[in-house]
């Protein structure tokens, strides 16, 4: 048995401890193809009962596997002969029922105690802790070592106090709750204790140049019963040196205590070399009759959580032996607390073997490393970044999906920082704190082209306002057709129609517009450019509403002049002027069979008369025998728009004649225009109408 300080080979595990073993199968995480899916973390809750058979724990909700964040209520139910004592593991205290929030895998131990008073030595419900306070007098004269050194001690614990004088001082005595000159001093904790270590200035040789040394001799009783390891080794020490003595029993022996300048059963023990000292280490044979021994059963929960080393090792001890238990967590675990015949969180902890004992060391899984994911957008306000899972703080290894969402007017450009590229959404694995910037760019406004042309070529031009021909979507462009000399604007075609000039076009796509022009030269048979060209007002008694015709240059469809007719249209059946006519006598007969006769006419809106019985216009022909054909009636205001030049077209081959007394269209002598009162209207019209460009 070399100097092994910690032996944990013979720890007996309480194997039936696990009452509830929850095997958790990895929840089949359906990988959704949707980028927005979130996988919900599941955690397992493992519940152990100590001691086995003492009771059970009811979980609500039941199951043992829970969605992250679930609050589970645990109710400890003692079996007959037991009462619930306390929780251990990831829970503490004695509240019952109690709750736990499932934010990680958890292990909970429910400890019950025998309620039958079977003398097992449990100190009842809760453990009482005491403090040991040591003061130094005078201040700065020295220091005191506590072994073990704890904030609190349980009743019955033995603490060894070593007073160590500083240079120039020597230890005098202890005062306070204990008066003694022992050094070291063993204190058995039974209550809160306050002590003062008193020192005094060393007389005489304090400042001497030579170093004072003391010898430490160790005696083994019985010879061969064991050995003592000194730390530091050597046996001769500078004054004030603290030496740790570890008694190591030989096979068949157990360490039973110190004697001489060191007392007690603590092992290892320390001594301060303030004098030459002699220590006796006593061992006892284990096989022999007289010695009472107790067993110490130690187990760990969960079993993979760690181990416990015992010092002295062995697990079977002479009554009164003080055993130090050191909980050693495995990787990924931390020591949590002791339950059973040792409670609390102190580690290492000591017990005195005054009965058979059972102790459980509870470990819990170490919190996994968390990393922070910081996101930003550039430029500010251009968009946002969605995280899936959300939160921004993740367990190491978590894969996070980042989705850049552009605000209006922006488009996502790329990632920078700890994520690069242009993929969106993109994923990142949290293996460190990370910072990612989503870069956006201002959206290019859609541009459209407005293409213009003129017809016929050279007839004019199209002016754009605003100019340019390329426009942001939504722009309204004013287009103006400008006729060259000798032409006039007719209408628009392509993506704009109508005769309005200027007009507007909304640029919601590429557009093409043609401005159509026509020659202003009036080459028609009757252009009125040089006079009335033989046209007269009717002089028949019932057709005198057109009273005067005259060349007029204020209004012309083509060229510079038209025929202005002075109209005085009275009510229906007025004896003089319920209708009027103007005509030209061509003197020689014209063959107008299968001819298309056109004329342009301009009438004011007032010429409509009674809208319910509107006035009308007809084109008429007379042949050499003065027989008539009157074209169909054209209502003013409906068939004939007012206040603009309107073309009247009569196809002599197909015209539905309004009046026909057999005129021979191959011998047309006279052509004219009639205006008449609509129906039985009594409305009157007094004004002008214009005729221009009579042609066929």
Q: Which residues of this chain interact with Ca ion, rule CB under 5 A? A: 522, 527-528, 556, 558-559, 692
Nearest to 169 by CA among 136, 132, 145: 136
Burial environment of residue 260 by CB neighbours within 10 A (0 to 12, 13 to 18, 19 or more): middle
Taking only Cα atoms into account, the Rg of the chain, rounded to an integer number of angstroms, comes to: 59
- The residues facing 278 across adjacent strands are 217
Contact 639, 675 (CB under 8 A): no
For the bound state, the minimum distance from the C-beta of residue 623 to Ca ion, rounded and expressed in Å, comes to 27
Cβ closest to Ca ion, residue 257 vs residue 672: 672
Q: How far is CA 535 from CA 75, 392, 576, 581, in A?
A: 119, 94, 21, 10
For the bound state, the minimum distance from the C-beta of residue 629 to Ca ion, rounded and expressed in Å, comes to 25
Q: Where are the beta strands (DSSP E) in 179-321?
A: 185-188, 193-201, 213-221, 226-231, 236-238, 241-249, 253-260, 269-273, 277-285, 293-301, 306-311, 316-318
Contact 213, 238 (CB under 8 A): yes
Q: What angle (nearest 5°) sits at the alpha carbon of residue 637, between those of residues 633 and 642? A: 115
Q: Where are the beta strands (DSSP E) in 533-667?
A: 535-537, 546-552, 562-569, 579-590, 596-602, 609-610, 613-614, 616-623, 628-630, 634-635, 645-651, 659-660
Task: Count the residues in the chain.
Answer: 696
> For residue 96, what are its two tokens?
């019952």
Cβ closest to Ca ion, residue 134 vs residue 556: 556
The DSSP call for residue 240 is T
Cβ closest to Ca ion, residue 159 vs residue 673: 673
The DSSP call for residue 667 is G
Q: Establish how many alpha carbons lie within 13 A of residue 628's alpha carbon, considering only the half-sphere containing its beta carbon.
A: 13
Burial 664-679, CB ≥16 within 10 A → b, else e: bbebbbbbbbbbbbbe
Cβ closest to Ca ion, residue 126 vs residue 523: 523
Cα–Cα distance between 294 and 675 in angstroms, integer?
139
Cβ closest to Ca ion, residue 492 vs residue 583: 583
For the bound state, the minimum distance from the C-beta of residue 524 to Ca ion, rounded and expressed in Å, comes to 7
Cβ closest to Ca ion, residue 438 vs residue 597: 597
For the bound state, the minimum distance from the C-beta of residue 488 to Ca ion, rounded and expressed in Å, comes to 12
Characterize the bridge pairing of strands 357-365 and 293-301.
parallel
DSSP-derived 3-state class of residue 540: coil
Cβ closest to Ca ion, residue 533 vs residue 666: 533
Nearest to 443 by CA among 404, 407, 409, 472: 409
- The residues facing 242 across adjacent strands are 272
Residue whose entry in the numeric block shows the structure tokens 């007017």: 409
For the bound state, the minimum distance from the C-beta of residue 603 to Ca ion, rounded and expressed in Å, comes to 16
Cα–Cα distance between 277 and 367 in angstroms, integer?
49
């Amino acid at each position: 048995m070399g100097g092994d300080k910690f032996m944990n080979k013979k720890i007996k595990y309480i194997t039936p401890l696990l009452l509830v073993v929850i095997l958790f199968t990895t929840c089949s995480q359906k990988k959704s193809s949707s980028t927005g899916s979130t996988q919900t973390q599941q955690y397992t809750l493992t519940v152990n009962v100590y001691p086995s058979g003492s009771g059970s724990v009811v979980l609500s909700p039941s199951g043992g596997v829970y969605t992250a964040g679930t609050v589970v209520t645990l109710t400890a139910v003692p079996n007959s002969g037991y009462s619930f004592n306390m929780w251990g593991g990831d829970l503490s205290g004695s509240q019952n029922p109690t709750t736990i929030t499932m934010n990680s895998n958890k292990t909970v131990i429910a400890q019950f105690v025998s309620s039958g008073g079977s003398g097992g030595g449990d100190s009842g419900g809760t453990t009482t802790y005491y403090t040991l306070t040591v003061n130094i007098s005078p201040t700065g004269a020295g220091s005191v070592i506590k072994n073990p050194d704890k904030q609190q001690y349980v009743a019955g614990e033995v603490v060894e106090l070593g007073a160590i004088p500083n240079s120039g001082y020597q230890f005098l005595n202890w005062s306070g709750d204990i008066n003694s000159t022992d050094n070291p001093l063993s204190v058995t904790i039974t209550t809160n204790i306050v002590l003062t270590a008193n020192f005094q200035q060393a007389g005489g040789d304090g400042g001497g140049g030579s170093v004072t040394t003391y010898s430490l001799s160790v005696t083994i009783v019985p010879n061969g019963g064991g050995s003592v390891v000194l730390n530091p080794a050597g046996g001769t020490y500078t004054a004030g040196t603290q030496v740790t003595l570890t008694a190591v029993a030989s096979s068949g022996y157990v360490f039973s205590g110190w004697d001489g300048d060191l007392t007690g059963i603590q092992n290892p023990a320390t001594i301060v070399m303030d004098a030459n000292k002699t220590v006796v280490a006593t061992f006892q044979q284990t096989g022999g009759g007289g010695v009472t021994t107790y067993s110490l059963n130690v187990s760990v929960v969960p079993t993979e959580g760690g181990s416990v080393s015992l010092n002295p090792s062995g697990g079977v001890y002479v009554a009164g032996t003080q055993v130090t238990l050191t909980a050693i967590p495995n990787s990924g675990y931390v020591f949590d607390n002791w339950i059973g015949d040792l409670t609390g969180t102190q580690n290492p902890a000591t017990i005195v073997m005054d009965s058979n004992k059972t102790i459980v060391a509870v470990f819990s899984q170490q919190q996994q490393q968390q990393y922070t994911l910081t996101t930003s957008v550039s430029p500010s306000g251009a968009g946002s970044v969605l995280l899936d899972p959300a939160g921004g703080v993740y367990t190491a290894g978590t894969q996070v999906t980042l989705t850049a969402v552009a605000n209006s007017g922006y488009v996502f450009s790329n990632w920078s920082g700890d994520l690069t590229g242009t993929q969106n959404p993109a994923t990142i694995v949290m293996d460190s704190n990370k910072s990612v910037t989503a870069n956006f760019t201002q959206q290019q406004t859609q541009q459209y082209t407005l293409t213009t042309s003129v017809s016929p070529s050279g007839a004019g031009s199209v002016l754009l306002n605003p100019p340019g021909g390329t426009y942001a979507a939504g722009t309204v462009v004013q287009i103006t057709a400008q006729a060259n000399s000798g032409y006039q604007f007719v209408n628009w075609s392509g993506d704009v129609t109508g005769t309005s000039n200027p007009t507007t076009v909304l640029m919601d796509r590429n557009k093409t517009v043609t401005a159509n022009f026509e020659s202003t030269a009036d080459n028609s048979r009757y252009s009125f450019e040089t006079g009335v060209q033989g046209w007269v007002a009717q002089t028949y008694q019932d057709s005198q509403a057109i009273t005067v015709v005259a060349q007029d240059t204020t209004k012309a469809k083509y060229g510079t002049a038209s025929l202005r007719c002075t109209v005085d249209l009275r009510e229906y059946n007025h004896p003089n002027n319920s209708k009027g006519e103007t005509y030209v006598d061509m003197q020689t007969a014209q063959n107008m069979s299968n001819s298309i006769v056109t004329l342009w006419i301009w009438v004011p809106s007032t010429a409509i008369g009674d809208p319910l019985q509107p006035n009308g216009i007809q084109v008429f022909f007379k042949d050499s025998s003065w027989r008539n054909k009157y074209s169909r009636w054209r209502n003013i205001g409906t068939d004939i728009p007012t206040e603009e030049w309107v073309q009247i077209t009569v196809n002599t081959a197909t015209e539905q004649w309004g009046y026909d007394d057999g005129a021979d269209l191959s011998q047309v002598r006279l052509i004219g225009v009639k205006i008449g009162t609509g129906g039985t209207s009594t409305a009157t019209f007094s004004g002008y109408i214009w005729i221009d460009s009579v042609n066929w």
